[in-house]
Amino acid sequence: MALVVLCSCAQGGTAVVDVPADPGVAQTDAGAVRGTVSADHRYFAGIPYAAAPVGPLRWRPPQPVPSWEGLRDATRAGPRCIQDVSNDVDGRPTSEDCLTLNVWTPPPSADPRPVMVWIHGGGFTNGSGDIYNARALAGRGDIVVVTLNYRLGALGFLAHPALGDGADVGNYGLADQQAALRWVRNNIAEFGGDPEQVTIAGESAGGMSVCDHLVAPDSAGLFQAAIIQSAPCQAQYELPAAQQVSLRYAAEAGCADAVAAAACLRALPPDQLTRALYYDRIGTEQLSGPVTGTASLPVDPVIGFAEGRAARVPVLVGTTADEFNLFTALQYVRGRPIDAAHYRELLAEAFGPDAEAVAQRYSPDRFEGSVPLAYSAATTDGLFACVADRMADALADDDQNVYSYEFDDPNAPAPEPLRAAPFPVGAGHSLELRYLFDVGGAPPLTPAQQRLSEQMIDYWSQFVATGSPGPAWPEVGDDAAGARMTLHPDGNRVVTTFEERHQCPFWATLR
């Protein structure tokens, strides 16, 4: 990344002088961008990776971004994709013209750095890539980090039959992510990254996206490793059900006529498309995110893992120790009763016909009489921990290099609304993110937590660089004991009790 210049010398000859290129400028295949430069990192924000999906491009695969002349400002992130902002404290704008990404790099070097592409969570209905400040991963970890936006909610995953032929509908948000991965392949070298050493990573809906890419045909070859954090990857939606929900959604939006539905939907103002595709009576979303049984996602990823259909790449997969405590706390602070009178109802909504067996196994008496903690433990184990454990085992059975972890800081800093709950949130869903990114919104880390943060950054960046988090971390399947790494401020340790603590043999009987 140097500019070679010829200059006149005092003796009348010429000499070749290497003048370093402007580290704040990078060239993409659509044009040049100018970002910001600091002592320990560079940041390029709001770079478009696809054309604005508006007008006739709404609910169509992402198209190439138009080129531009001169230097495009890349010092500020682009708008968030359209999402419900009725309860939003963010305040930043949203727009359909939102298919942008952000690049964090270490200082320039002659050697290309490994790349991590981060896919944000938010239930496929909210969030954005720019809230994940990756300065520490780029600086301490010496890797390039790309964060991205993708279409959300109805705009990202509506599966109305009028929008495509047969199975080729929905999953527009997943196609956006694939377009961003192709952008990385074609452009990241200009930012100091190695296009042949790309790890896809994400948490919650972002982790579910990673699961999808592991089995999606159009994602093949776009990455060389994967990180799945706190992702209930079994929560996918099959095409027939998704189409029925989408038909009902269109009808409620005033587009019930099957012949005119596509034109009608594309003519709607975007602010009429911010509501979720469908909620049941308690506010649980019934359809959001990728749809299986389609050309772009033929198989449910968990089934695909079990059948040996996943991309054969190294995988790091894990959960937090108290995943569902966060969701229980959110329900509580929003006024939903989480008490003995409603316990069976809560379990029925989560586990259907298995609710009675779960109630017996997770009696509040075993949790010091606390219904919130019993409910949280059941949903943590049944929907997160044992699903991740099953995925790790299935991938390892296919002779892949698989590493598993549990984040277990019982005092992880939580946002203010969650601290109002009358039970500890503990190592709740998403609370490990501030140990990797500067996401703000909570009390600062203690010295011990900061040490854990540095250790986690080292593990993650080493995995991105080598496909392994380090020699002290055993691979899944190396022995019969089910070894998993526990991440804790008092010291990280390999444990063999994960399946027992989360009652995974019991959950296996309910599948």
Q: Is 323 annotated in the active site?
A: yes
Q: How far is CA 87 from CA 97, 200, 223, 260, in A?
A: 22, 30, 36, 33
Q: Is 109 annotated in the active site?
A: no
CB 144 within 8 A of CB 193: yes
Tokens of 428: 């709740």
How far apart (Å, rounded) are the C-alpha atoms in residues 239 and 92?
34
Q: Say how many C-beta atoms besides its own lie within 10 A of residue 67's C-beta.
A: 9
CA dihedral 53, 58, 59, 63 (to 10 degrees): -40
- Residue with token string 């984040």: 407
Q: Point out the catalytic residue in the list 41, 160, 213, 429.
A: 429
Q: Point out the catalytic residue in the list 120, 203, 204, 230.
A: 204
How far apart (Å, rounded) are the C-alpha atoms in residues 59 and 315?
31
- Residue with token string 């996918």: 236
Q: Point out the catalytic residue in the list 160, 203, 246, 323.
A: 323
Q: Say how many C-beta atoms besides its own lie within 10 A of residue 20's C-beta.
A: 9
CB 254 within 8 A of CB 264: yes
How far apart (Å, rounded) are the C-alpha atoms in residues 366 and 415?
28
Q: Is 230 annotated in the active site?
A: no
Q: How far is CA 336 from CA 46, 282, 329, 342, in A?
A: 39, 9, 10, 10
| Side chain identity, residue 212 | D
**What residues are labeled active site?**
204, 323, 429
